[in-house]
Amino acid sequence: MRKGRKFLHVLPQDGGESLTTSFLLFSGWLLGYFQIEIDLEDQEKTTFTCPFGTFAYRRMPFGLCNALATFQRCMLSIFSDMVERIMEVFMDDITVYGGSYEECLLHLEVVLQRCIEKDLVLNWEKCHFMVQQGIVLGHIISKNGIEVDKAKVELIVKLPPLTNVKGIRQFLGHAGFYRRFIKDFSKISKPLCELLVKDAKFVWDEKCQKSFEELKQFLTTAPIVRAPNWKLPFEVMCDASDLAMGAVLGQREDGKPYVIYYASKTLKRLKELHNY
C-alpha cells in the first residue's frame, strides 16, 4: 500500500480568523475511522491473527499508515463547500461558527443535513452547542482571539528541574506547541536545545535552569493572539543577535498595537546571520 502524502488540516495559519466569531458549536465524531469502509480488494491487507482465528477489517481501523490522511481527506471532501466558510474540520472534530446566534443555528442546520446525507454519526456527549469559547487543538478559541489552554500549561509549570535528555525533549515539545505565543522562544530555549546535541554532556547549569523557568513563566503570561484584520496594514518587527533571530507580526487598532504571531529561529554559527 503506497503511503499517502496528504497533509493534515491544522489550526488556520491566519491566526484562526474564521473561528474567532461570536458563536461556536463544537462537535466530535462518534465512530471516527470506522465510518469509512475499506474496499473489498484491500481488506486482506488488514489481516491479523489472534487465538480465535484470522480476521480482516471491513472498515478502516486506527493505526494504518494512511488512516489519518484518508480520514482527513474524506472529511474535507464531504464538507469541501463549507470549510473556512461556515465550519472547520480537524480530524474527528468539527467546529461550526457564526457571527450571531441565528446565523450559527442556520449553519448548524446545513452541516447536520450534510451529515444525514453522508450517514455520519456524531457523539452527542462530546457536542457543545452555542458556546462563545471552546478548546480546539489545544488552543482556547473565542471572539477575542487564540490563547493557550490553561489546563495544559498548568501541567507544564508544575514540572520539576529536568534530569535527562528525554525529559528535555518532552518539555520542549510541550512548550514548543505554544511557541507562537512566546517572544524569542528560540533564543530563550537555546541552553536546553544545546543539551540535545549528539554526544553533548548533560549538565544542568544555571543557564538551563533560567531557560526552564523563563519558558514556564512566559507560558503562564502568554498574550491572546488576535486574528488579522485584512482591512488594516500589517507591522513586522525584526531583531537578531549572535544566537538567534526573531520577528513579530502585528497590527494596530485605534492606535493600540496587538500581536498576531511570534516567530524565532536559533542560529548555529555567527556567519549564518548573513544568510538571512
In this prediction, residue 273 carries a pLDDT of 45
Q: What mean pLDDT, rounded, does the chain reach?
A: 83
How is residue 20 written as a grid cell? 474567532
CATH class of the region 23-143: alpha beta
Instruction: Please count the other Cβ atoms lying within 10 Å of the Cβ belonging to residue 225.
Output: 24
According to CATH, the topology of domain 147-275 is Alpha-Beta Plaits (3.30.70)
Question: How far apart, in Å, do the first and last CA atoms of the chain sit?
Answer: 41
Do 142 and 20 contact (CB within 8 A), yes or no?
A: yes
Domains 23-143 and 147-275 share a fold: yes
Sequence-ordered list of residues with C-beta below 8 angstroms from that of 272, at least 6 positions apart, any chain? none
In this prediction, residue 4 carries a pLDDT of 55
Strand order in the sheet with 23-29: 87-90, 93-98, 23-29, 122-131
pTM of the model: 0.71
Do 78 and 118 contact (CB within 8 A), yes or no?
A: yes
Query: What whole-number distance in Å separates Cα of residue 131 and Cα of residue 116?
Result: 23
Query: What whole-number distance in Å separates Cα of residue 95 and Cα of residue 78?
Result: 14
Sequence-ordered list of residues with C-beta below 8 angstroms from that of 249, at least 6 positions apart, any chain? 234, 235, 236, 259, 260, 261, 262, 263
Grouping H, G, I as helix, E, B as strand and the rest as coil, residue 98 is strand
**Domain segments of the chain as ranges:** 23-143, 147-275
pLDDT for 146-176, tens place per residue? 888 888 888 888 889 999 999 999 999 999 9
Chain-centroid distance of CA 16 in Å reads: 11
pLDDT for 210-233, tens place per residue? 999 999 999 988 888 887 888 899
Pairing verdict, β 48-50 and 133-136: unpaired
- Helices 185-194, 206-220: axis angle to 10 degrees equals 140
In this prediction, residue 26 carries a pLDDT of 61
- Block residue for cell numbers 500589517: 234
DSSP labels, 187-217: HHHHHHHHTTSTT------HHHHHHHHHHHH
